[in-house]
Chain A
Amino acid sequence: MTLRLAQVGVVHANGRRALAAVDLEVAAGARVALIGPSGAGKTTLLRVAAASLRPTDGRAGVLGDDPWSLDARALKALRARIGFVHQAPPIPPRQRVVTAVLAGRLGQWSLAHALRSWVAPVDAAGARDALARVGLAERVFERCDQLSGGQLQRVAVARTLYQAPRLLLADEPVSALDATTADTVLRELVAYSESAGATFVASLHAVDLALRWFPRIVGVRDGAVMFDLPATQVTPERLAALYAGEVAADPQRPVESLPHATLPLGSA
């Protein structure tokens, strides 16, 4: 079991409760999409899974360990096996693409190796291969501020692919990308998880993408799991209930595409 959350609750430092009594088990190699309205707790859930946020109550097992009973060294080693694609690419604009990608393995490298790579890239070929998977192979030695926002996000994806994690987490990885690129990037992430046998958990805004690429869908609302179903059983009614109230609150979201666009899949 890659992920074993039992009765996990999180109260943020400002006193706001983000998660309450969440149970979630994800088997090794499985692919799970988290969907739900904004503010439902998807990001918090992913951070607990990434062993970077300690749950206030309950237990979180990640890759067979309880991160919060490990010593610092073991926790660091555990985190090195977890890849995280952030919503906004956390890459310094003046860094070169090759350096940004190679930074994916900092958790696995010794300090000496990291510093050597900082001075001059030690594995430019590896970086190029990772970039090739997101269609940016020819940009290896460019600076990140010469890329568009979407390209930068693909660099961040390449970094995570280069990291080769056992557990791949992604928080709205494609929300800043156009439809075609979003599909390509998800295909690459899915292909990686299949070829490496890595577990893949992603939160997604676009329900149609979630249904297309993930066999299992977890609906999150108000800090709790509302449903946990195979993609084929996610009906428009369930989606409507999950997103109830969302449309009026945030007309920018492509909600009109939710229940209708998913009809064929939902009824399949």
Chain B
Amino acid sequence: MTAIAAVRPSLRDPASQRRLAWAITALVLLWPLGRLADFHPATLLAPSNVKVLGSFLAGYVPPSTAPDFLRELLAATLTTLAIATAGIALAFLIAVPLAIVATRSLSVAAIGPADGRWRGRVLRQAVRTVTVLLRSVPEIVWALLFVRASGLGPAAGVLALAITYGGMLAKVYAEILESADTRPARALLQAGSGRLAALCFGLLPLAADELVSYTVYRWECAVRAAVVMGFVGAGGLGQLMDQAIKGFVPSEASSISLVFFALVLLADGISLVLRKVLA
């Protein structure tokens, strides 16, 4: 009995010291990174800068509602949406075959014949390298290149998105598929099913909602990317925003910001509805 009383455990959380150590390490590592990135929050608060920012922000209210501008805004919004949607659609077409090849859980060689295994491994590694190459160059760089090659306009943005986002989608699709329970697909392969059939009947039912919500999220990112590419001449909201900022018309910038907000809200809503439908 006394033995039991003697080993009464201390209430000090044994994990707390390690957590503190990690937090300090993270800060120590982040500090030089912030310096490298030229991150000086204080400059934002310098009096001259505050004045410029302040007068621009003051012009934000009320947002511009001039009919001519609104017409232009609508056209630009549609262009941006079109760039994002067409870009994601092309990216999807690039990503799906890559993801299917890269997914380990659909490996027939894993259940034999084993001599096909290294071949599959080499192929998967090659596909992974391709997806890295696709997404290693930011879409804005592709856009600048394509604007040089094919002239100003949305086509450059669509191509740029397709390449970069194709790589991203392929990588994450493959990871989502691999994180799902592999037993259903494995059982189908064991009964002589082909890879694609095993994917449809064994893997997709488990991963569909995650795949859909990730795709919609990527579409949302593509809308933002399409805006950014507008600044380098791919048209749409970005170009309009560029004009508004450079021409110092804060009321128009304000309206455009509201459209950004609405678009993200829209993407969120679509994702929610799709997830509900699939659940």
Contacts and interface: CB of A to CB of B under 8 A. Distances in A.
A88 B190 contact: no
A111 B202 contact: no
A194 B263 CA distance: 63
Interface stretch (A98-106, A219-227, A246-254): A98-106
A163 interface: yes
A72 interface: yes
A90 B186 contact: yes
Contacts of B197: 106, 109, 111, 114-115, 118
Contacts of B116: 72
B247 interface: no
Interface hub of A50, A79, A83, A92 (most chain B Cβ within 10 A)? A92
Contacts of B181: 92
Nearest to B200: A118
B199 to A, nearest CB: 10
B200 A115 contact: yes
Interface hub of B197, B200, B206, B278 (most chain A Cβ within 10 A)? B197
Contact of B206 (A51, A53, A94): A94
A103 B205 contact: no
A78 B206 CA distance: 28
Given A84-B187, A115-B200, A92 B192 contact: no
B130 interface: no
B53 to A, nearest CB: 50
Interface string B99-114: 0000000001001111
A163 B190 CA distance: 13
B239 interface: no
A92 B205 contact: yes
B201 interface: yes
B112 A75 contact: yes
B63 interface: no
Contacts of B111: 52-53
B88 to A, nearest CB: 23
A99 to B, nearest CB: 7
A111 B191 contact: no
B148 interface: no
Nearest to B111: A52
B200 A90 contact: no
B194 A76 contact: yes
Contacts of B206: 92-94
A68 B112 contact: yes
Nearest to B114: A54
A104 B200 CA distance: 13
A12 to B, nearest CB: 13
Interface in B167-206: 181, 183-184, 186-188, 190-194, 196-198, 200-203, 205-206
B227 to A, nearest CB: 36
A107 interface: yes
A50 B203 CA distance: 22
A68 B194 CA distance: 18
Nearest to B190: A52
A264 B115 CA distance: 51
A50 B198 contact: no
A146 interface: no
Interface in B105-143: 108, 111-114, 116
Interface hub of A54, A82, A88, A114 (most chain B Cβ within 10 A)? A114
Given A83-B191, A90-B186, A68 B202 contact: no
A60 B258 CA distance: 69
B184 A91 contact: yes
Given A72-B113, A114-B197, A108 B192 contact: yes
B193 A106 contact: yes
Nearest to B278: A94
A86 interface: yes
Contacts of B188: 90, 103, 106
21 contacts: A53-B112, A54-B114, A76-B192, A80-B192, A80-B193, A84-B187, A86-B187, A88-B183, A90-B183, A90-B202, A92-B202, A94-B205, A94-B208, A99-B201, A106-B191, A106-B194, A106-B201, A107-B191, A107-B193, A111-B196, A163-B191
Given A75-B112, A99-B201, 12 more contacts: A53-B111, A75-B113, A80-B193, A90-B184, A92-B184, A95-B205, A99-B205, A103-B188, A103-B202, A106-B193, A106-B198, A115-B197
Q: Which 8 A-B pairs have the closest CB atoms?
A: A107-B192, A80-B192, A106-B193, A79-B192, A92-B205, A90-B187, A114-B197, A90-B183
